[in-house]
Amino acid sequence: EIVLTQSPATLSLSPGERATLSCRASQSVGSYFAWFQQKPGQAPRLLIYDASNRATGIPARFSGSGSGTDFTLTISSLEPEDFAVYYCQQRSNWPRTFGQGTKVEIK
Amino acid sequence: QVQLVQSGPEVKKPGASVKVSCKASGYTFSTYDISWVRQAPGQGLEWMGWISPYKGNTNYAQKFQGRVTMTTDTSTSTAYMELRSLTSDDTAVYYCAGGTNFDYWGQGTLVTVSS
């Protein structure tokens, strides 16, 4: 099984700041990689698919990059609604796996 | 618009089974694969398995092999996930997600296992 390791576990930032979240895979997943956002009490929401493609309706301040084993989600300027938990996920191999999550909290 | 609406919360005793439904609307049901993901209280996301409504193919996480069954009913555009031999460790919110990229999610179904 492919293990996804996210860092940091928690990111404390202020609105307007840039957020950089990382995810490393235990083996190459090509570009079969996604990022999700989850707010308390809500289902996850797809942000980025195939490593760098924004899902429908996702603001341009969210961007994804990387391929192979190292991936990054960047939020260029944090809005109040962006404070949430973010998960990475791979669909290269079975079983599909998720990272453990990065919480972006208000500093 | 695409919607996945799940069945309501369940309370089960250890050893029992639960069957969660996920009704799709707003698209042709066979178009999107359905995955099931669960989230224990305060924990991360755990992939349970996948089903193709078009062919009926399934793929289950090894952890759940022999204990889970995923099915679809194309006549009602509904996917089902049945989990048997429940223990307290199965207490979680269970989500269905549609699409190759987990594009669309149901609202989640809380399953509580308690004696």
pLDDT score recorded for residue A75: 98
Q: Which two tokens stand for residue B58?
A: 């399934």
Question: How many pairs of residues across A and B have Cβ atoms under 8 Å apart?
Answer: 49
**From the candidates A5, A42, A87, A94, which should be mutated to test the interface with B, based on the most B CB atoms within 10 A?**
A94
The alpha-carbon gap from A18 to the nearest alpha carbon of chain B, in Å, equals 24
Q: How many CB atoms lie within 10 A of CB B11?
A: 12
Contact between residue B95 and residue B48 where contact means Cβ atoms under 8 Å apart: no
Give per-residue pLDDT as tens, B51-75. Answer: 999 888 999 999 999 999 999 999 9
Closest to B92 measured CA to CA, from B11, B5, B3:
B11
pLDDT score recorded for residue A40: 96
Instruction: Report residue B104's pLDDT band, with 50, 70 and 90 as the boundaries.
Output: very high
The alpha-carbon gap from B22 to the nearest alpha carbon of chain A, in Å, equals 14
Contact between residue A57 and residue A45 where contact means Cβ atoms under 8 Å apart: no
* Distance of alpha carbon A55 from alpha carbon A57, whole angstroms: 6
Instruction: Report residue B92's pLDDT band, with 50, 70 and 90 as the boundaries.
Output: very high
> Using a CB-CB distance cutoff of 8 angstroms, which residues of chain A are in contact with residue B62?
95
Tell if the CB–CB gap between B108 and A95 is shorter than 8 Å.
no
Determine the residue of chain B that is closest to A53 in CA distance.
B101
The alpha-carbon gap from A52 to the nearest alpha carbon of chain B, in Å, equals 13
Give per-residue pLDDT as tens, B6-61. Answer: 999 999 999 999 999 999 999 999 999 999 999 999 999 999 999 999 888 999 99
> Using a CB-CB distance cutoff of 8 angstroms, which residues of chain A are in contact with residue B37?
44, 98
The 3-state DSSP class for residue A5 equals strand
* Low-confidence residues in chain A, pLDDT < 70: none
Distances (CA, A) of B17 to A2, B43, B112: 29, 22, 11
> Using a CB-CB distance cutoff of 8 angstroms, which residues of chain A are in contact with residue B107?
43
pLDDT score recorded for residue B58: 97
